[in-house]
Amino acid sequence: MTTLISLTLAYPRALSESLVYRSAWGYGLAMRVLYGRYYAARDAALAAHVPEGASVLELCCGPARLYEHELRGRIGSYVALDASERFVARLRKRGIDARQADVATAELPVADVVVIQASLYHFLPDAEAIVARMRAAARGSVIVSEPVRNLASSRLGIVARLGAGAAATAGGAHAQRFDAASLRALMRGGFGEAIAVEAVVPGGREHLYVLTGAAEG
């Protein structure tokens, strides 16, 4: 059974989108602060598992940095899904096939590779269902890169609240996070035979899993 880090929120769960998710600039700044000199390396580590010419579906794409900096020009096609109207509108203006969607319930387009980066925690406690849906939409592979060291899991209450609040999306604030053990338990417990790669992303903040896809064709 997966044990999750859970914190009591000191603010309503229906907290509106934080400033981090209101602009690509704010999101990028926050990520640079969190990942420091490994900010670009985390994208490169994930992109290394995407084959040349593959079609890619990215869930919770945010400003689509992965595509813009690592995948554009070397993959066949790219579809980006996100709940943020702001992010989707910005990406469409840049000619990217971005679609506003609740990926927990929306039909997922089939692609060679289905990716989620630093966003699986949004779907706790039902993260296993999201990964299963990703596999059902992936002809080739599923790539999950997820933080296992988080401000929101700090033992200092004020730091934890700030961390969870900063990551509040349109769906509200999220207190639950993975650590290395709980993410491993989810992946090995629910998808053990499908795991092709299990790795630590440069900097150690994220762990990366590559699973075999289950879509036909």
The enclosing domain of 91 has a CATH number of 3.40.50.150
Structural domain contains residue 25: yes
In tens digits, what is the pLDDT along the chain, a chain of 217 residues? Answer: 444 443 323 323 333 444 445 555 555 555 655 666 776 788 999 999 999 999 999 999 999 999 999 999 999 999 999 999 999 999 999 999 999 999 999 999 999 999 999 999 999 999 999 999 999 999 999 999 999 987 555 554 544 444 554 455 445 445 578 999 999 999 999 999 999 999 999 989 899 999 999 998 7
Structural domain contains residue 4: no
Structural domain contains residue 136: yes
Q: Domain range for residue 80? A: 19-212
Structural domain contains residue 3: no
Structural domain contains residue 217: no
Q: Which residues contact 55 (CB under 8 A, 6 or more apart)?
A: 75, 76, 77, 78, 79, 111, 112, 113
**Residues pairing with 39 in the sheet:** none
Structural domain contains residue 30: yes
Q: Any idea which residue has 């033992």 for tokens?
A: 155
Domain tally for the chain? 1
Structural domain contains residue 98: yes
